[in-house]
Structure 1
Amino acid sequence: MATNGTGANRFLIWGGKGWVAGHLETILKSQGKQVFTTTVRMEDRESVKAELDKIKPTHVLNCAGCTGRPNVDWCEDHKEETIRSNVIGTLNLTDCCYLAGIHCTVFATGCIYHYDNAHPIGGPGFKETDPSNFTGSFYSETKGHVEEVIRNYTNCLVLRLRMPVSDDLHPRNFVTKISKYERVVDIPNSNTILTDLLPASILMAEHSDTGVYNFTNPGAISHNEVLTLFKEIIRPDFTWKNFTVEEQAKVIKAGRSNCLLDTTKLEKKLKEYSCSVPEIHESYRRCFERMKAAGVK
């Protein structure tokens, strides 16, 4: 599908039926940009090349990939499928874009780190140059390996999202997920508020930025802080229970990443475009206020 727009840029969103892809398409349409979407499998090289040749995009936004349903535990039992999509597919699409002279933005993950002695809770965040240190889930393991490779492509912008949040209670929204859990851990984490960050991704793509960026709001927020704001603004009668990481491990197949990402590099880059991203606590409050105004309960 396509939208007529002005300007020379032509955006092709890969994984076109996905959650983040839908948000990007809406933003691009509102900006009057030419935008196309596709569901062609990334690992199918001939089909990828044919799609690129047909659409002739200037920018590919890669939102495709395998996260598992309902969560990353799925990847533990479907390793070949996960590799085919997250490793072979991502590399193939990036390579085909490179050969065709197309800028490729990969919406990746920051769930490749875990708090350690050098990066304790409350301490410094992980920078883009820090090697991944979390292999507790097969999903994260594949993502960490792929990033090491695709960061060498000179046409590629890698944006590390974490626990993404939308202005509604979509099933993929991190808030929706934790609000439905019987119990949650209470650990501070970096989060990505899509309303704040997705417009910035388009801006960076249009400026042909490349390399790896931690793509989250500045700061870290705990699950309890998120749910407290949710209760205060959206659902006054909401209640929840906590449990420890050790207790959580007994009911999930794969470990979960908990970390703070350093956003200094992103903030510096966006400042070049007179753009800024609000701190995570403030951003969540604004997000829930927008939800409330829209009638979300």
Structure 2
Amino acid sequence: MKILITGANGLLGQKLVQLLLDNNETIIATSHGESRLDYLQGDFIYEKMDIREADQVMGVMSKYSPDVVVNTAAMTNVDQCETEKEECIRLNVDSVRHLVKACKQTGAFLIHLSTDFIFDGTSGPYLETDEANPLSYYGESKLDAEKIVEASTIDWAILRTVLVYGITPGMSRSNIILWVKNSLEQGKELKIVDDQWRTPTLAEDLAMGCYLAAQQRAKGIFNISGKDMLTPYDMAMKTCDYFDLDRSLITKVDGSMFSQPAKRPPKTGFVLDKARNVLGFEPVSFDEGIKILDLQIKSLLVE
């Protein structure tokens, strides 16, 4: 199977390239800038491709004619989407139109990544069939992209996910586990919200969800996330306990303490029954996810 990945330099993209290498698939990794994948062992193709540019997308897709395209590229900073709306639309909506058009020409199966932020968070955890009602511009852009995919005549899957966490060499963005660990090790006091619920997703699990959908060419919408419903405060305390750090440095607060450009849904999270039954997807627990990250941190330190 020949699989093209957009956003291959990102956290999910890197994990997906690694998983596909482990399974001897043919990989075309694409991203906007220079490759950050040089540390990976194995044969794959890297092509610069700016998904905002229709000609580039069509050119690369026509050159390689992949069987499957996994679109992991997006503007995911929720507050940045609120303040840079035009760029948000270019990255999250227009680019999907370009990919759909290219998939139609080449016959590729499109796997598009979406988000829990298409929901307003009043009745989570959500099924695939629940009605969307985004609170933020980010959520609106991702819902608009879903509609473009659904209205197309290509074969497609939409994988919705929640609060992805993980680690890669030279990673540019942190996550709640690393942030809490590093802050408490430095003796910093933290105020962490306890009135927003999510089902945080290990990046390796999300990569596996993408691969399962690709293998089966499974059409439709699937929830792909972790299985534990937790608040950021819960996640912080679990991190604290695992690494034996000082709990007293963490104060529980509510979201009203923080002034952010974008509204956050109070309770999202996903019901995973469809992904389990159709794809055979089974994520690790958050506790297991912390342990996996710990092993990866130690491995990176050794290298």
TM bracket, shorter-chain basis: 0.7 to 0.9
Give the one of 31, 43, 53 matched to 1:44.
Answer: 53
**Partner secondary structure for residue 160 of structure 2:** strand
Do 1:163 and 1:174's aligned partners in 2 also have CA atoms closer than 8 Å? no
Residue 22 of structure 1 aligns with an amino acid whose one-letter code is: Q
Whole-angstrom distance in 2 between the partners of 1:194 and 1:17: 13
> For residues 73 and 29 of structure 1, do their structure 2 counterparts lie closer, same or farther at Cα, with a shift above 3 Å needed?
same
Q: For residues 95-110 of structure 1, what are the structure 2 equivalents within 5 Å?
A: 95-110=101-116
1:53 aligned residue: 62
**Offset from partner CA, 1:178-237 (integer Å, 9 cap, x none):** 666942211321221222231232121121112111111234112222111101112523
Whole-angstrom distance in 1 between the partners of 2:294 and 2:179: 18
Question: TM (normalized to structure 1)?
Answer: 0.82
Do 2:82 and 2:137's aligned partners in 1 also have CA atoms closer than 8 Å? yes
**Partner secondary structure for residue 269 of structure 1:** helix
Residue 151 of structure 1 aligns with an amino acid whose one-letter code is: E
Do 2:11 and 2:203's aligned partners in 1 also have CA atoms closer than 8 Å? no
Whole-angstrom distance in 2 between the partners of 1:20 and 1:176: 17
* CA RMSD in angstroms, aligned pairs only: 2.3
Q: For residues 113-132 of structure 1, what are the structure 2 equivalents within 5 Å?
A: 113-116=119-122, 119=123, 125-132=125-132
Identity of matched residues, %: 21
> For residues 256 and 105 of structure 1, do their structure 2 counterparts lie closer, same or farther at Cα, with a shift above 3 Å needed?
same
1:29 aligned residue: 21
1:284 aligns with 2:286: yes
1:253 aligned residue: 261
- Alignment size in residue pairs: 270
**Partner secondary structure for residue 130 of structure 1:** coil
Pairwise CA distance, 1:53 = 1.3
Q: For residues 219-258 of structure 1, what are the structure 2 equivalents within 5 Å?
A: 219-237=228-246, 239-248=249-258, 251-258=259-266
- Structure 1 runs of 4+ aligned residues shifted over 6 Å read none
Whole-angstrom distance in 1 between the partners of 2:177 and 2:142: 23
Pairwise CA distance, 1:91 = 2.2
Unaligned runs of 5+ in 2: 32-48, 184-188
Residue 49 of structure 1 aligns with an amino acid whose one-letter code is: M
> For residues 268 and 140 of structure 1, do their structure 2 counterparts lie closer, same or farther at Cα, with a shift above 3 Å needed?
same
